[in-house]
Amino acid sequence: MRARRFLTGLPRLRGVLPLVLLLALWQVAAPSRSPYFPPPSTWWTSFESLSRSGRLYPALASTVLTFALGLAIACLAGGVLGILIGTSRAARRALEPLLEFCRGLPPPVIVPVAVLLLGYAESLKLLVVVWVAMWPILLNVAAAAERVDPLLHDVALSFRLGVLQSLRKITLPSIVPPLMIGVRVAVPLAIIITLLVEMITMLPGVGSLIVTAQRNFRSADVYALLVLVGLVGFALNIFFVVIEDLLLRRFPPRMHNAQ
Amino acid sequence: MRFNLAGTLTIVVMLVLWEIAVRGGLVTFEYLPAPSAILVASWTLLRSGELAAQTLHTIGAVILGWVIASALGLALGLALGYSRTARSWVEASLELLRPLPGIAFLPVALLIFNFSLETELAVMVYASVWPVLINTMGGIMNVATRLHDVARTLRLTPMRTVTRLLIPAAAPSIIVGCRLGLGTALVMAIIAEMLGNPHGLGYAVVSELQAMQPERMFVYVLVIGFLALALNAALVAASRLMLRNRG
């Protein structure tokens, strides 16, 4: 059933035609050693030689690992801090301007600040991703925690639910839907920032691989890596759509949480 | 909005603690400047005119990129929202291109345009066209079918249907798209200035880092933060005004 619903939401297949035509035209028209627009067939040869060189897969693994770990820590930290801030009116009011500034700060400027304070350490990549991905999650959870029906806490009290049980029955169901909205915003941000840290610091990863290729004017490598990044981004998007679908089925959004 | 005393106090207390920590040598970060040192540096940068020059470059680039992206996104979004046929022939291609992070596009832009404003604009436009396009297309598609009946009854030409009925009806969604686009444009401008176009606030942050001038770097970081807040606030105010005067 789910597969069918997923398919009906999909755009018509013939819509791929413009992209295919563009690539075909590119292949025919571009000179094979063009420094700007190398034809797509050379991207594939580049990709093959990159993957044979043994540099590609460790870089890819490092990038994906940083992204995944950073996002996971951001979910945990954003969720916990969000609940704490959301349930206390005073804390929320006291922290609001600071939080707004931190969220509004364009993510890329965090990278030089982190480099200044921590130096070019491997841990820097992870820290920056966590910092950037945490804000949308934290603020969404805080806003939702504030709106949790106070009656539900009374229910927990009168049923004498233990801490664990009340976490599972009351807190989780009201936190998961806003957390997933935050994650939806955080995923593209986390991808961008992971690549950016690697590009600026040249720490190992796909980002530094692309920059190295560009600085050496290996343009076919640049395009090959661009396509790879696009495919990974596409796969991650689909992965998170499925995760969100599963989680929201298990924890459907409450009516009073909807605007 | 009411003045938030508790929130302001939090920030003041934090700044004071920061100052004490740095002066007393309580922090282990070697290069963390004290707030007072940042204040002094911002005065020097302000007087030399450097701060203004870098800020103006970034603002100019962001607005230029945003206008191009919005025009492009609006035109494409209108066409795709209006015509089901056009949508069926193009949408899948767009859906394949959309998840491509704009930043991965930067090295390609550098290959083609070198270190220049064109690189900055290319990256900005590529990234910020999407929210405008998607919101315009969605807004037009969601216009009630009743309005299409009205257009038919009044025998409006397609041109007038679009300008008189569809755009006003889809305006709230279009405006949200443009707002998101501006935020994206600023982020991409900073990124492009850090790596691609050696001008503006993004470049200033990175070059002060390399010159080991932490105070100056923090000045630029804070200016970027306030610029982001100001741009957003301006757009929120503008969109309220536009939606109120719509009629």
Q: What is the pLDDT of residue A259?
A: 38
Cβ separation of A90 and B6 shorter than 8 Å?
A: yes
- A217·B111 Cβ contact <8 A: yes
A and B: number of Cβ contacts within 8 A: 166
Query: In sequence order, what are the residues at sequence separation of 6 or more whose Cβ sits closer than 8 angstroms to the Cβ of residue A245?
Result: A2
Residue A5's pLDDT is: 46
* Count of domains observed in chain B: 1
Architecture of domain A58-257: Orthogonal Bundle (1.10)
Residue B218's identity, in one-letter code, is F
pLDDT over threshold 70, residue A1: no
Asked, for residue B182, whether it belongs to a domain, the answer is yes
In a domain, B184, yes or no: yes
CB proximity A157 to B under 8 Å:
no
- The confidence score (pLDDT) of residue A2 equals 46
Q: How far apart are CA A61 and CA A38, in angstroms?
A: 27
Q: Is residue B6 part of a domain?
A: no
With CB atoms and an 8 Å threshold, state whether A196 touches B191. yes
For residue B245, what pLDDT is reported? 66
Nearest CA-CA distance, residue A187 and chain B, Å: 11
* Mean model confidence pLDDT for chain A: 85
pLDDT interval class at A159 (50, 70, 90): confident
Q: How far is B84 from chain A, CA to nearest CA, in Å?
A: 11
Residues 179-198 of B with CB under 8 A from A: 186-187, 190-191, 194-195
Interface with chain B: mutation pick from A23, A85, A109, highest number of B CBs within 10 Å:
A109
Task: Pick the range with the lowest mean pLDDT from A39-43, A186-190, B24-28.
Answer: B24-28
Q: Is residue B2 very low, low, confident or very high in pLDDT (cuts 50, 70, 90)?
A: low
In a domain, B202, yes or no: yes
Instruction: Please list every residue in chain B whose beta carbon sits closer than 8 Å to the beta carbon of residue A15.
Output: 87-95
pLDDT tens sequence across B162-171: 888 888 888 8
B28/A contact by beta carbon, under 8 A = no
A-contacting residues in B 29-88 (Cβ below 8 Å): 29, 31-32, 87-88
- The CATH number given to whatever domain includes residue B140 is 1.10.3720.10
Question: Do the Cβ atoms of A222 and B93 come within 8 Å?
Answer: no
Residue B18 located in a structural domain: no
Residues from chain A that touch B107, judged by Cβ atoms under 8 A, are 210-211, 213-214, 222, 225-226
B50-82 helix and B200-210 helix, angle to the nearest 10 degrees: 130
A109 touches chain B (CB under 8 A): yes
Q: Do A226 and B214 touch (CB under 8 A)?
A: no
Q: How confident is the model at residue A255 (pLDDT cuts 50, 70, 90)?
A: low
> Residue B214: which domain range?
48-244
- Give the pLDDT confidence score for residue B246 in this predicted structure: 59
Local confidence band at B123 (pLDDT 50, 70, 90 cut-offs): very high
Q: Which residue carries 């395009």 as its tokens?
A: A223
pLDDT value, residue A254: 66
Q: How far is CA A244 from CA A99, A139, B169, in A?
A: 26, 18, 31
The string of DSSP letters for B14-60 reads: HHHHHHHHHHTT----TTPPPHHHHHHHHHHHHHHTHHHHHHHHHHH
Identify the band that residue A177 occupies on the pLDDT scale cut at 50, 70 and 90. confident
Task: For residue range A79-93, list pLDDT tens digits in order.
Answer: 999 988 887 888 888
Q: Which chain B residues are Cβ-neighbours of A191 within 8 angstroms?
A: 101
DSSP string, B60-107: HHHHHHHHHHHHHHHHHHHHHHH-HHHHHHHHHHHHHHTTS-HHHHHH
Under the banding of pLDDT at 50, 70 and 90, the label for residue A257 is: very low
Distance between CA atoms of A238 and A224, rounded to whole angstroms? 21
Residue B145 counted as domain residue: yes
Contact B132, B70 (CB under 8 A): yes
CB-closest option in B101, B217, B229 to A192: B101
| Average pLDDT of chain B to the nearest whole number | 88
Q: What's the per-residue H, E or C state across A178-219?
A: HHHHHHHHHHHHHHHHHHHHHHHHCCCCHHHHHHHHHHCCCH
The reply to whether residue B194 touches residue A200, judged by beta carbons under 8 angstroms, is yes
The verdict on a CB contact (< 8 Å) between A210 and B107 is yes
User: A interface mutation test: which of B111, B134, B210 has the most A CBs within 10 A?
Assistant: B111
- Parse chain A into domains and list their residue ranges: 58-257
Averaged pLDDT, B6-12: 87
pLDDT above 70 as % of chain A: 93
- B229/A36 CB distance under 8 A: no
Is B9's CB within 8 Å of A101's CB? no
Chain A touched by B8 (CB under 8 Å): yes
Q: Which of A69-78, B147-156, B189-198 has the lowest mean pLDDT?
A: B147-156
Q: Measured between beta carbons, which residues in chain B are less than 8 angstroms from residue A124?
A: none
- What SS3 class is residue B157? coil
pLDDT tens-digit readout, B61-81: 999 999 999 999 999 999 998
At residue B247 the predicted structure's pLDDT band, cuts being 50, 70 and 90, is very low
Q: Nearest residue on chain B to A238, judged by CA atoms?
A: B99
Question: How confident is the model at residue A102, as a pLDDT?
Answer: 84
- Split at pLDDT 50, 70, 90, the class of B32 is confident
CA A7, A11, A12, A17 dihedral sign is: negative
Mean pLDDT across the stretch B125-151? 87
SS3 B3: coil
Q: Which residue has the tokens 């345009």?
A: B113
Nearest to A68 by CA among A58, A60, A56: A60
Contact B99 A19 (CB under 8 A): no
* Position B25 confidence tier, pLDDT thresholds 50, 70, 90: confident
Asked whether residue B205 carries a pLDDT value surpassing 80, the answer given is yes
pLDDT digits (tens, 9 = 90+) for A139-156: 889 888 877 777 777 777
| pLDDT surpassing 60 at residue A209 | yes
Of all residues in chain A, the percent with pLDDT exceeding 90 is 32
Report the predicted TM-score, pTM, of the whole model to 2 decimal places. Answer: 0.87
Tell me: pLDDT of B23 over 50: yes
Would the pLDDT of A198 be above 90? yes
What pLDDT digit, counting tens, does each position of A21-38 carry? 999 999 988 887 788 888
Question: Chain A closest CA to B103's CA: distance in Å?
Answer: 6
